[in-house]
Structure 1
């Protein structure tokens, strides 16, 4: 299965993003109120300029306690963001996340953001697949009896 299938199955497929000038406090409010783990930072063309995770906010608070309120997204975002496409397999996406030690993966097509998936989305989708397979097997065995 592909990342595109995971995006289609997501209930809330809206991409939450900020501009590079967004303050850390604005980002913290968005992450908290939306109950999400990261926001994308988009460039002027709608492409991924960076990503700010809740971990980034906590690290900034710990390292820059006195000036964290004046920091912006472009001060603490990850700049070289690993991305996937809708055709990326779930296994490939999980390997990217595991190798890079991150939990959110933007999905991009021709430089434009299509969505973002989390490790939780991938695990949830895999569980649904296994449950569907088990139900199919039960139905098949039931027909044979």
Structure 2
């Protein structure tokens, strides 16, 4: 016996009300998120130093900007390297008390792994995890156009998952 609140469907109740709980678009939308989408929300501010700057200047900039790495550029803004807090800490362990006057060129990573705005976030996250680094410059047509961190990628993805969960809840509740 049906509950008293049940009302049998009548003719035309579900006309043109098709639902698509799973589609190729919905299942792959987050996997297809690009670096450009992350940067559009984060901003494209890039903080840089020069190869001949000393480490004390780098430490000051990192502290003032509350960031963990800086790109190293030439006078034209072309990428020459990257220097991170980790680079500085490692050098401090090797040369205690002698690190701050050293030049950036001596500590920076010169073969920088970069990404483009069109790269998928999932691919970038994989590169960062495999390479064990937390910062990646974004380059388009040989020009710097941003910097992303592993934290940026994780936070962006968490927001997407929260939004996805909210959408699912709204679909279920109505």
TM-score category, normalised to shorter length: over 0.9
In the other structure, the counterpart of 1:8 is 40
Matches within 5 A, 1:91-110: 91-110=122-141
- Does 1:53 pair with 2:84? yes
CA distance in 2, matches of 1:36, 1:112: 21
How many residue pairs align between the two structures?
A: 142
TM-score in terms of structure 1 length = 0.93
For the residue of structure 2 that corresponds to 1:15, the secondary structure is coil
Shift of 1:72: 1.0
* Partner SS, residue 75 of structure 1: helix
Mapped partners of 2:53, 2:119: distance in 1: 30
What does residue 63 of structure 2 align with? Answer: 32
Q: Report the Cα distance in structure 2 between the residues aligned to 1:81 and 1:125, rounded to whole angstroms.
A: 23
Looking at structure 2, the residues matched to 39 and 46 of structure 1 have their Cα atoms a distance apart, in angstroms, of 13
- Name the SS of the counterpart of 1:40 in structure 2: strand
In terms of fraction of residues, the more helix-rich structure is 1
SS at match of 2:122: helix
What is residue 10 of structure 2 aligned with on the other side? none
The CA distance in 2 between the partners of 1:17 and 1:133, in whole Å, is: 36
**Structure of larger gyration radius:** 2
Q: TM-score, normalised by structure 2?
A: 0.78
Q: What is the distance in 2 between the residues matched to 1:56 and 1:86?
A: 26
